[in-house]
Amino acid sequence: MTLGEKYYNIAMDDLLYLEASNVEGYYNQPTNLCQQVAEKLMKSVVADYYTEDDLENILRSHSLKRLANAINLIIPSSNFDKKALAYLSDFYYETRYPGPDYVKIDKETYEECKQIMYTCKDEIDRILLKLQENSDDK
């Protein structure tokens, strides 16, 4: 199993956990999990197909926008809403750690983040299918 496949499988486990959680009233952890699912899905492409020298740094990043830029080097036709991804990236820290940026997430924000995550998943699945088709053609 490749590193990318491992990232994808972990993302799917996280997504299944998120969908099974059915949380009402406390949305910080589920919102953070939306960010984590999107991040791991994006890293599943980067880990196996990114060929630039900064691969290790990219894989350490939690910035979804940075990951989208890396994927765009692999598949220029990738279609990510980078503004939405930057918004979702903010919840990596702001929902987990005390400090001036800590926020209590409401249901509306959680639902918005969940939609961004699912849109990201759809795009990653499309990209992976395209990459697989390209490799089958060789």
Predicted pLDDT at 134: 82
Predicted pLDDT at 99: 78
CA 121/CA 36 separation, integer angstroms = 12
CA 87-80-7 angle, 5° bins: 85
Confidence of residue 135 (pLDDT cuts 50, 70, 90): confident
Q: Is 54 exposed, middle or buried (0-12, 13-18, 19+ CB in 10 A)?
A: exposed
Q: For 11-50, what is each residue's pLDDT tens digit?
A: 999 999 999 987 788 999 999 999 999 999 999 999 999 9
Closest CA to 41 of 132, 127, 136, 134: 127
Closest CA to 7 of 36, 50, 30: 36
- Where do the structural domains in the chain lie, given as residue ranges? 3-133
Contact 40, 7 (CB under 8 A): yes
Confidence of residue 123 (pLDDT cuts 50, 70, 90): very high
Residues with Cβ within 8 Å of residue 49, at least 6 apart in sequence: 4, 74, 131
Q: Which residue has the tokens 């089958």?
A: 136
Is the full-model pTM beyond 0.85?
A: yes
Predicted pLDDT at 95: 59
Superfamily of domain 3-133, CATH level 4:
Nucleotidyltransferases  domain 2 (1.20.120.330)
Residue 94 clears pLDDT 70, i.e. is over it: no
Mean pLDDT of 101-122: 94
In angstroms, the first-to-last Cα distance of the chain is 21
Q: For 53-87, what is each residue's pLDDT tens digit?
A: 999 999 999 999 999 999 999 999 999 999 999 99
